[in-house]
Amino acid sequence: MLAGLPRAVAPSFLAAARKIVARVQRMCIVKGATVADLPRPSRCAVSRLSALACLAPDDLRHLRKARTGRRLRISNITSRLAGFLEMLGGDPGSDVLAGTLEEMRTEVERIERRCRAAGASPGRLPERSAYAFAMMKWLAGWDVERLLAGPGRLGEYAAQARLARMHLRDATNRVWGEGPRKIDISFVPGHHIWRVRPRGGVAIWRLATGWLKARKRDFEDLVMVVARRRGRQPSHKRLERHRAFIESPGFREIDRELERLLAGAQYEPMGRFRDLGAAFERVNRRLFKGRIARPRLHWNGQRSETRFGSYDRVRDVVCVNSVLDDPRVPKEVTEFVLYHELLHKSHGFRLAGARRMAHTREFAADERRFPGWETASRWLELLAAGWDGPPPELAVNPNAGGRPVDAGSTRRSSA
C-alpha cells in the first residue's frame, strides 16, 4: 500500500479491510470476548484496519505522503551524552577535556555514519536522541589545538557547571534541609527551564542550555525561586529579573543553534491521516483572524491517553499526540487541541507569586470560543478512558453529558 495502491484497487482493498474487522468482531462475540481482550499485536492490527476501513478510496494516497521522511533509531545516544556531561561537570583538567573532545567527536561521526547508511539525517532520530546528538556536535565544534590554547566550549561548559554548583548547593540545602548533599549538574536540551530531584545523597539538577549564558546574579535569583518550596517567597524584583532572563533572546540562542544542526527535520506536520499544517490554517483563519505566526507543528510518535498536546515556548513547537491522527476521531477534536496549544502561544503566562500560571480565567474564556468545544472535550475524556473502537454516538450528540477536560492534558497544564 505504501509503495502505491492503484486507484482502481482501492475500493476492493478497503472492502477487504472491513471484512477482516467484521470477522474478528464476530469471532470475539462467539467466544464471549471483545477486541480489547486480544493479544496486543492482534489488537493493534485490528485497530489499524478499523482506521483504514473508515477512509474513502481517495484518502489512501495521503498514507504515502506520511512516510516520505524515514525515522530511524540508534541506541545509547542519550546515555553517551549523559556520560560526557557528567565528565564535564566534574571539574576536569585540560588533558581530560582534550580526551573528552576526541571521544565526543568519534561518537558524532559514528552517529552520522549510521544515519548516512540508513539514508536519513540525524534530524530523523526520535526527539530526545536528535537533540542529544545536536548537543554533542555543538560541544565538539572546536579543534583540539584551540581547546588547549583556550577554554573552548567544553571548558566553558565545565566553568559554568562550577559556577552553578557553587550557588545551587545553598538552594539544595534550603529545599530539603537535610544537611549537605552532593550536587550533580547538567545543562541539557529539553522542554524544561530547570528541574531538580533528590536521589539518595545526590541532588540532580537539570538546567536548560540557556543557563550556559547565566551570570552569578541569575543563579542567585534561581536559588530564591527554588527556595519557595520551603515557604520563602522571593522578592518581586528577583522574580521579574528571573523571568526577564529566561524569556530573553540570549536564553534561546543555543537551542536555535541546535535546531540549525538538525535542520528542523524532526518536525512532521503530516501524519498518517491528518495534516497539522492544514488544520493550523483553518484554526488561525477562523479563530485568530490570521494573526498567529505559524509555529513548528509535529505529531508526537509516542501515543498517549493522558496528554493530547503541548506547546514548547522556547522552540515555538506545537506537538499533538498521534492518538488523534485517526479518521475515526473527528477532525474538530484535533483542531480543538491545536487551538488550545495556540492559546498558550498567544496568552503566554502570568506570575502569581513565584508560580507561573498558564490556564487563567481569560484563557478559559477564549477556549470556550471554539465551536463545539464541549463535544471535543468529551471526546478527549473518551480517549483518556482508553477508547479504541467504532465511532461512538458522541461524535454526533453535542448535548451528551460529561465534564470537559483540558485539551493539553487530562491531568495538568501542557505549557
> Residue 255, Cβ neighbours under 10 Å: how many?
19
Report pLDDT for 248: 85
Which comes out higher in pLDDT, residue 176 or 355?
176
Mean pLDDT value of segment 81-104: 87
Mean pLDDT value of segment 263-289: 83
Domain residue spans of the chain: 10-66, 77-153, 167-260, 276-396
Report pLDDT for 119: 74
Assigned C-alpha cell, 76: 545509547
Q: How confident is the model at residue 144 (pLDDT cuts 50, 70, 90)?
A: very low
Using the predicted structure, report yes or no on whether residue 92 has a pLDDT greater than 50: yes
Average pLDDT, the chain: 78
**Highest mean pLDDT of the ranges 92-101, 233-242, 344-353:** 92-101
The share of the chain scoring above pLDDT 90, in percent, equals 15
Burial of 117 per CB tally in 10 Å (0-12, 13-18, 19+)? exposed
Which comes out higher in pLDDT, residue 336 or 40?
336
**Residue 405 identity:** V
Which comes out higher in pLDDT, residue 303 or 200?
200
CB 273 within 8 A of CB 325: yes
Mean pLDDT value of segment 363-390: 82
Assigned C-alpha cell, 176: 530539603
Q: CA-based angle 344:345:348, to the nearest 5? A: 65
Hey, which CATH number is domain 276-396, 3.40.190.10, 3.30.930.10, 3.40.50.300, 3.30.2010.10?
A: 3.30.2010.10
Q: How far is CA 361 from the centre of its chain?
A: 26
Length of the chain: 415
Rounded Cα distance, 282 and 288, in Å = 10
DSSP string, 124-155: GS-HHHHHHHHHHHHHT-S-HHHHHHS-HHHH
Q: How confident is the model at residue 415 (pLDDT cuts 50, 70, 90)?
A: very low
Report pLDDT for 207: 93
Q: pLDDT per residue over 182-236, tens digit each?
A: 888 999 987 788 888 888 778 889 999 999 999 988 998 888 887 765 555 656 7
The pairing of beta strand 296-300 with beta strand 309-312:
unpaired
The share of the chain scoring above pLDDT 70, in percent, equals 74
Rounded Cα distance, 279 and 335, in Å = 6
Using the predicted structure, report yes or no on whether residue 177 has a pLDDT greater than 90: no
Q: What interhelical angle do 127-139 and 77-88 show, nearest 10? A: 40
CB 317 within 8 A of CB 298: yes
Report pLDDT for 32: 78
Rounded Cα distance, 97 and 16, in Å = 62
Rounded Cα distance, 201 and 203, in Å = 7
- Of 123-127, 138-142, 238-242, 390-394, least confident by mean pLDDT is 390-394
Mean pLDDT value of segment 130-150: 72
